[in-house]
A and B are shown apart, each in its own frame.
Chain A
Amino acid sequence: MDSIERTPQMGDDGVSENTKGNKRKNPNVHRDSGKFPYLLIAPALIAIALIVLYPLIYSIYVSFTPYNLLRPEKTFVFHFDTMFKNYVKMAHDKIFWRSWGNTIIFLLVTVNLSYVISLALSQLMARVTRGQSIMRTMLMAPMMFAPVLVGFQFAWFFNATVGLVNNILITFGILSEPKAWLVDQPWGMIAIMIAAIWMNIPMMTIILLAGTLSLPKDVYEAADVDGAHPWQKFKHITFPLLKPFTLIAMTVLSLDVARAYDIVRIMTGGGPAHRTEMIWTYAGRMAIRNSQFGYASAMALTSVVLGVLFTLYLFKQLIKSRVVY
């Protein structure tokens, strides 16, 4: 409510007032302010244009050719009539569709479960009276681990012969013989999801916790007077008021959803028999092992579309909820 009142001020920035005021004091400022923000953004834009946009456009071009790294002279040629060959091949590639299916299931499960767990954890941590800051630091532990490390770590835990999971289950007599977690369906996928959720939780929880701690106390006092149950308070006050924070947490997550590649690549490599194949690993293998850069680029571009749409949607919501220009 408060935020709606202050947003016009934020948007207007008082810039127009400034420049009016400055016209009297310092005539140069008004002329500068037109170019100034663009000058500030220019270095960032140039870097991104050179290192992200240009390669992406190049990648579109490559995807229209049958580029094979082993025979570049022969294959890196563009023919108008065969330009969509990779895309046609892709449409008929069962493994491509399967890896997309896996990717969507993986994202749906990990994003939602990460959110539910983080929400619960943030509510619990907001009520902690002793050792808040130590607990926060503990919570951040997975953030200190590179995604590759998370992958290695869980690959080790779920390893069939030396893994800790089998070791514990057999020691306690729950399992009689070692289970090949990363090979058996659907356990391979579940193991990867556990690793990804473990990695996602800290950032989400920290943001939701910051949100929970900043909520106005008077609303809860009013609810107490009305005799609301804890669950009612959560459902009708905390959850709706946390929406902007949920959006921020989701956006941060969406900026790098593909980091799951690191985990999958190490834990299962997409196998066995494409059971845990994701679009990123399939495209990656097509380029690295099969040297088919044309085809791999076409597939990778479909994953770019997913990433961009996802982030675009969340950022639009975020901008709408935050600042009105």
Chain B
Amino acid sequence: MITLLKNGKLYDPAHNKNGVVEDIYIRDGYIIAKVNAADKINQTIDLTGKIVMAGAIDMHSHIGGGKVNIARMMLPEFREALKQYSEPEAHICTPNCSHHATPTSTETGFRYIEMGYTAAFEPAILPINARQAHLEMADTPMIDKGGYTMLGNDDYFLRLLSDKTDQKAINDYVAWTLHATQAIGIKVVNPGGISAFKFNQRRLNLDENNVYYQVTPRDILKSLSRAVNELGIAKPLHVHCNNLGAAGNFQTTLDTIQASDGVPMHLTHIQFHSYGLEGDKKFSSAAAQIAEAININKHITADVGQILFGQTVTASGDSMMQHLNARHASPKKSVIMDIECDAGCGVVPFKYRDQNYVNALQWAIGLELFLSVTDPWRIFLTTDHPNGAPFTSYPHLIRLLMDKSFRNEAFAKLNLDAQAMTNLPSLTREYSLYEIAIMTRAGAAKLIGLKNCGHLGAGAQADITVYSEQANKEAMFGQPDYVFKNGELVVKDGKVVKVVWGATHVTKPVFDMSVEKNLKQYFDKYHTIQLDNFKISNDEIADNGRGKLVSHSKT
């Protein structure tokens, strides 16, 4: 079966194609270079004048696991009221859009594919809760998925570090955890802080000791990023810095970049970590300093975690900072958990308001970061779904980046004090289609180490999105003409026409199995389940044939 996509205008940054008109051939779910004369073309779709990109990849979106499900449980009102959505930034609806901050697993898959996204990665899988994350992702149709496993607050790791165990043992433990939890990357959330909160510490700075273990976040970051690097895991350590959301936290972020010591590191949702202390309200933008540090340090990548105005819910592993943030909850409720000597979580509903000084400035800080980081291969388009806004607002965010006059109109509606505290109007940059394709496709695939995704070259998984070019980029990115998943036409004119089930991407670095000896002793002594039950088998992911495991290695 060969499908020919004819005469599309290709934006394929992995192959330096910036609006080149070319044909694409698809065979058995993959893009092939060309066909032989004898091959029969079964289907031809004329894409003359259409924009063609690889399927988009969301490299950071909370799509599965305990936190998200707690948010759903806690917020039944989200399912009732939001159809009549009238927030200042209401995005253009896809046909079945619910504007939902906590979509069901099915809605998640449908809304993503309707926007031309063909993969999303859950960035905060608690190892002990990984089975739930995979169960939810298994029930998420249409898209590929995968996740980053959280380490750095688990007592096993902190004991290794505080006992000054050699790096090899830590590397083996990190690799073992990736296998056991079926993940593709490692994340650290508020390094040492989630553990410290359990010992009643309320804040933890980069060089402050966890009172019990007498190790600092800097020690934790160094050890984990070294492990990730030495194990040959493509995805750099995914870092949610200390002091999330706190005024003045930009210094922690700068110090974290400095602590990376040249080893690749990804700073996630940096918007929430770029706050200064200036002005009457002691809350200001430090986006310029953060962007400059990213521009200089070529081994650093970041995603923004843009906030957009409206109702959402914040769901984070950072129980320490979410406990502090709970006083701002709207509606006024929250769930904070200590979890299994492994991690924690905090779920706090939030309503971002354009007339609120802090929220308005957060909005501007995110956009300042997007527009000030010069290399689109090292900055990624996220709202930290659902923390900054639901992922369904991506088309709106893309328009804010591509359309300066649209951005200025939105800016003019902001809280006036906030307007005075940002240099956003002086940033005249407008993202090009090519740059958007880098951020949302080629760059994301490169970052995670997905060789067959995010591009349109031969050998790529035929995940392809086709748009009609429009001046209104929100309308354009909100409703692609066609989306192909593994070569099959699954979305036509913004509507799902076929339900398919994507693969789960993982990485399985080599490690010394003898690590299990100590782990078993530790589990038997301190944990409450058997070590063998902690491990998720390949069969569980395969889920009787509905799921599929794709393992990636760096080389």
Asked if A and B are interacting partners, one says no
